[in-house]
Structure 1
Amino acid sequence: MKRLLTIVAAVLVLAAAVCAQAATEVRMTGDALVYGNFFANRNFTGWNAAKWTSEAGTIQHAGTRTEDQFEIWERFRLRTDFIANEAVKFRLGLKVEDTWGHGTLTAANPTVAVEVYQAYLMFKWPGCDIQISAGLQPASIPQASFFAGSIVFDENVSSLIIVAPLIQDHLNMILAYVRTISSDRTFAPTTEQVYANEEGYMLALPITVEGFKATPWALFGVGGKGGHYLTEAGWAEGLISSGLFTMAPVGWKNNFITALWAGTTLEITALDPFKFYGDVIWGQHGMNEYRKNVRNGWFIDAAAEYTGLDMLTPQAFGFWSTGEDNSTRNGSERMPNFFPGSGRGGEHNGGTQNWNAGNSFLFDGGQELVKGSNMGISPLGAYGFGASLNNVSFIEKLTNRLTFAYVHGTNSPKAIRYANFVLGSNPIFQMGRDLTEKEWVMGLNLDSKYMLYENLALILETGWAHPSEFQKSVWGRRLANKAEDAWKVSFGLKYTF
C-alpha cells in the first residue's frame, strides 16, 4: 500500500508539473563532482580538531580521532528556476553529497539524503527596477572580487534582500535582513522568555564609476543567549571571546547580544591592465556584554594583478588583522566573523565558502574540489602575504595556477595558553588554525584544469603546508610534538549544465 501511494503521489506531481509548464518556463542548471582526495596530516597532526558537543560548552577534544587519508567524494547539485515572466521567478536548489560507501552512496540500504540548499522567490517591484528576493538564498557581505568570499559572512541563508538603483549604472542601495538561527521556532522549552534567534540587518551602497568600484557597508546583528550557536549553527567560535567560558560569571549577561560590523571594498581598474583590490573591515560582537565577552577587531586585505599577458596573470596579495592581547579580562581583539566550518576536516557545510587569496591551500575558500580541500587557517589574528601565477596556459584547454602563501600569527600566546589551561583543547583556539605571534605557516599549491569538453573538466588540486614549531607551552606537548607537514592531492571530474 505504501509503495502504491508513493507511485500515485509521483504521478500527481508530474501531472501538476506538466500543467504548470503551459504558463511557466522551467530552466535547470547544475553541476556534478566526482573526485578522489588524498589528504595527509589534517590539522598538521592527522588527528581531529576540537568541537562543541553541547550548548553548555562541553567539548570533544582534539586528538581523540584519527583521519582516513583517502576518500572519494561525490556531489550533485540541481538548480531549477520556475519563470513566470522576466520579472518573477522561483529557484529551488537540491543537493546530494557524500563519500562513496557512506550514507546515500552506500551499496546496501543507502540513507537517502537530498538537501534543499536554495529555495527563494525573486521578482521586480511593478513599474520600477527594484529587485526583491526572499527565502533560502546566497547572501554575503561585500568583499573585493579578488578574494573568494566574505570573511565576515558568506552562506546560503534565509533572508530578504532588496536591491534598488539610485543612480542608474553608478549607485545602488542594498538592504538585507537575514535570520541565521531560530532555535526554538514557535515555542520555547520554558516560559522564561529567553531569546533564541539570531538575525542581521545590512545596508550596502555599491558605487561604480569608470575605473573604480567601492561598496561601503554596515551590518547590525542581534543574537539571543538561548540560541543554539555551538552545536547547531557551528560558527560560534568565530563570534565569541574565550572569556565567555573561561572567566566568571560564565555565559552571557544579557538576553539580547548585539553586534556591529562596518567596512568598504575597493577595486581600481583605471590603470588596466594593472588592477588593484582591497578591503577594510571593523567588527564588534557583544557590544552590550561583560567586557570579557566582547570580541572586537580589524581586518585589512589588498591585492594586485597584471592582466596584460596572454599566457599567465601574475598576482600578489597581503592581509593583516588584529590579534589577542595578553589579557582575557578585556575580551578578544580578533574581529568577529561567522565561521561555518573548515574544509580541512572534510566537514564543511557545503554552502559558499570563506575568504581566500590565490586559491591557497592554507585558507578555506575557492577550491573546486571542496571537501577536505584545505588547512582552514584563520586569517584573523594573523598577517600574511603571497603570490600567484594564475591562468597559466601553454597548452590549449589546459589552465594552471601556482600559489605561495605565508601566514604569521598576531595572537599573544598568553591568552591562548589560559584558554587551553581552563578548557583543554577547544574550538575557540585550535593549533594550526589560530597562530600565536611566535608561529607561522607557509604553503604551496598547484591547481590544474583541463577541459575535456565545453562543460566537462578534469581537475587536479594539490597542496603542501609547512608549519613552524608550535609552542608546547600553549598547545601541550602531545599535539605540538605530533605536528608535521600536511599535503593533499585531489583529482576528479566536474560536469556543469
Structure 2
Amino acid sequence: MKRILVMALVACFVLGAAMANAKEMQFSASFEHSLQWTDNTDLQDGKTDGANEDDFSALQRVRMYFQYVTSEDLRAVVGFEYDTTWGVVDSQVEGSGGSIGTDGGEIELKHAYTDFKTGPVAWRVGLQGVAWPSAVAGNPIADNDVAAIVGSYAFNENVSLVAGFTRLYTDEDGQNKGDIDALTAILPIAMDGYSVTPYVIYAMVGQDAAAAAGLAGITNEAGITAPADSLTALWLGAAVEVSAFDPITFGLDLAYGSVDAEEENNDRSGWFAAGIVSYKMDMVTPSLAVVYGSGDDDDTTNGSETMPYLDSATAITHFGMDGAAHNLAGNVLTDRHDFMAVALILDDISFVESLTHRFVLMYGQGTSDENMADQAGTVLTEKDTFWEVNFDSTYQLYENLALSAKLGYVSVDRDEDTWAAATEETDAATKMAVTLTYSF
C-alpha cells in the first residue's frame, strides 16, 4: 500500500507539472476484479497430477491512462498497470501485494509514448501497443506492447502506409546475442465493401534470443544444439475483410514466416491461414471459422515446418487459445500453429436487455508428424484430436460497470501409440471465471 501511495504522490506531481503546459488533460481507467476456478490446465491425468487440480485464484487489474494534449498534432500518453493476485506474499512472484495488509507489489509502466506530426506524416514514439493486421481473431505473429518508432502516411482516403522499427529484446551486456530488432511495413487499403491489408516483418535475431523466443527450427528442446550464430526472420501476411454483402461478412488471414540460420536444423518456415464467415441477425450473429497451420515433418535435421512467431495471439477461444483476458487461464492447448480446427461461433446472443452471451464450439487436430511427439515443444500431432467449448455471458449493470462469466472446457484425445504416457484416464481441462469491470 505504501508503494501505491508513493506512486500516487508522484503522479500528482507529474500531473501538476503537465497541466501547466498542456492545453487539455484526459484521463481514463479500468478496474477488473476476477474470481477463477480451473482444473487440470496441463491436460494430464487428473488423478495423479495434484498440482493442477481444483485451482482457485482471485485477481485484479488496474489500468490508468493519462493524455496530455497540446493540439490535434501533439500529445503524450502514459499508462500504468497494477496486477494483484489476492493472498500472494512473495514479492518475487508476479501479482504479489494481495496478502494481508495489501502491501507490496509493483506498478508497471504499460505505455509511454508521444504522438506528433511532421507535415503529412504522423509519428508515435515510445512504449506502445502494436497489433499487426487480423480479420479473424488476432494476428498469429505478434500482438503486444513493444518499444517502437512508428510512422504513418495517408496517400488518399483509401490507401495509407504504416512503417516502423521495434526493439523486442536486447542484451544487457551489449553483445547483441540476445537482441531481436524488427522492421515492418503495413499497407492498409480500404475500398467500398472490402479492405485488404498486406504487411511484411523483417527481424534480426541474436542467437541467444532465438532459442528463448522459439524462433529457431529444432532447438535444444529436442536435444539438438541451439543456433551457433544470429538469425534473420521474414514474415509476409495479409488480412482481408469483405462487407459488401452485409449482413453477411467475410474475413481471411494469411501469413507465411521463415527463419534462416547457418545450420539447416535451425531453419524454420511455415504458414498459417484463418477464415471466417458471419451473418449478423437481430438477436445473434452466427459465424463459422476455419484455421490451418503447417506442421513439422518427421525429419529433425531439416529444421521446423511450423510458422515462427514473436508473440502469437490466435484468440478464437479464451481457454485453449490466446483469447483470455486479465491473466486468466489460456493457451491450454498450444501457443504454436501446428493444428487445424473448425469453430462454430454464436456471438451477440441477446434475449434480455443488457445481457449478452457468446458460444464457441471448436474441433480440431494437430498437423505435425506423429514422430515429432515430445520433440521441439510439439504438443499436438496429426494423430491427436481436441475439442473445446466456451460459453460466456456479460451483464451491463451500469453504463460503465459490467459483470461477466466465462466457462471453458478443453478435451484432448492423444494417440496412445504416439504418446507413451497417454492413457484413457487423461482428464479434460475446465475453467470458470467471473469478472467485474468498471471502466471510465
Aligned residues: 428
Instruction: For 1:319, give the aligned amino acid.
Output: V
Alignment CA distance shift 1:260-1:318 (3 Å): same
- What is the alpha-carbon distance in structure 1 between the residues aligned to residue 134 and residue 219 of structure 2? 30
1:151 aligned residue:
140
Counterparts in 2 of 1:451 and 1:368: CA distance versus 1, 3 Å: farther
Can you give the 5+ residue segments of structure 2 that lack an aligned partner in the other structure? Answer: 89-95
- Could you tell me which residue of structure 2 aligns to residue 343 of structure 1? none
> Is 1:32 aligned to residue 20 of structure 2?
no
| Secondary structure in structure 2 of the residue aligned to 1:105 | coil
Alignment pair present for 1:178 and 2:166? yes
- Deviation digits for residues 363-412 of structure 1, max 9, x if unmatched? 112x4454124524346111110111110000000000111001211111
Deviations 1:211-259 (A, max 9, x none): 01001111111011244863xxxxx23x2322455465x22132x2100
Distance of aligned partners of 1:94 and 1:383 in 2 relative to their CA distance in 1, 3 Å threshold: same
CA contact (8 A) 1:323 1:411 kept: yes
Find the residue that maps to 1:17 and give its secondary structure.
helix
Could you say which residue in structure 2 is the equivalent of 1:489? 432
1:322 alignment partner, one of 294, 304, 324: 294
Which position in structure 2 is the counterpart of 1:251?
A: 226
Name the counterpart of 2:66: 80
Among all aligned residue pairs of Structure 1 and Structure 2, give the percentage whose two residues are the same amino acid. 25
Aligned to 1:441: 386
Give the alignment partner of residue 196 of structure 1, picking from 169, 172, 178.
Answer: 178
Q: What TM-score do the two structures reach when normalised by structure 1? A: 0.80
Quote how far apart the aligned CAs of 1:66 are. 4.1
1:429 aligns with 377
Contact 1:360 1:404 (8 Å CA) reproduced? no
| 8 A Cα contact 2:255 2:272, kept in partner | yes
Q: Does the C-alpha gap of structure 1 residues 375 and 40 become closer, same or farther in structure 2, counting only changes over 3 Å?
A: same
Alpha-carbon distance in structure 2 between the residues aligned to 1:493 and 1:87 = 36
| Deviation digits for residues 462-483 of structure 1 (CA, Å, limit 9, x no counterpart) | 0111221x23455442x65662
2: CA distance, partners of 1:13 / 1:113: 15
Which position in structure 2 is the counterpart of 1:466? 411
Aligned partners of 2:410, 2:13: CA distance in 1, in Å? 55
| CA distance in 2 between partners of 1:247 and 1:229 (Å) | 12
Q: Distance in 2 between matches of 1:472 and 1:115?
A: 45
Match of 1:356 in 2: 315
Residue in 2 that maps onto 1:23: 21
- Supply the distance in 1 between the matched residues of 2:263 and 2:160 (Cα, whole angstroms): 38
**Cα contact 1:386–1:404 (8 A) shared by 2:** yes
Q: Who is 1:114 aligned against?
A: 107
AA matched with 2:19: Q
Q: Residue deviations 1:327-384, cap 9 Å, x none?
A: 10011000001247xxxxxxxxxxxxx1122x4532112x445412452434611111
Distance 1:66 1:397 in 2: 35
Counterpart among 136, 154, 158 of residue 165 in structure 1:
154
The correspondence of residues 122-133 of structure 1 with structure 2, limited to 5 A, is 122-125=115-118, 127-128=119-120, 130-133=121-124
- Residue of structure 1 in register with 2:131 after alignment: 140
Alignment partner, residue 451 of structure 1 = 396
Please give the alpha-carbon distance, in whole angstroms, between the structure 2 residues aligned to 1:454 and 1:10: 27
Tell me the distance in 2 between the aligned counterparts of 1:28 and 1:385.
Answer: 41
Q: 1:395 aligns with which of 337, 347, 352?
A: 352
Per-residue deviation at 1:289? 2.4
- CA gap of 1:392–1:416, structure 2 versus 1, over 3 A, is same
Question: What do you get for the CA RMSD once the two structures are aligned?
Answer: 2.5
Distance 1:37 1:64, change over 3 A: closer
The corresponding residue for 1:263 is: 237
**Contact 1:42–1:486 at 8 Å: present in 2 too?**
yes
Q: Amino acid of the residue matched to residue 445 of structure 1?
A: N
Deviations 1:83-136 (A, max 9, x none): 1211111111111112111121111473231111111111122x32x2100111
| Paired residues of 1:183 and 1:228 also in contact (CA < 8 A) | no
TM-score by length of 2: 0.90
Taking the TM superposition and a 5 Å limit, the aligned residue runs for 1:341-380 are: 354-357=313-316, 359-365=317-323, 367-373=324-330, 375-378=332-335, 380=337
CA distance in 2, matches of 1:399, 1:369: 20
Equivalence for 2:91: none
Summarize deviations over 1:37-85 as a string: whole Å, max 9, x none.
Answer: 01111021278xxxxxxxxxxxxxx979545611111111111111121
Decide which structure has greater strand share. Answer: 2
Q: Is the CA contact (8 Å cut-off) linking 1:312 and 1:392 kept in structure 2?
A: yes
Q: Give me the whole-angstrom Cα distance separating, in 2, the residues matched to 1:109 and 1:199.
A: 39
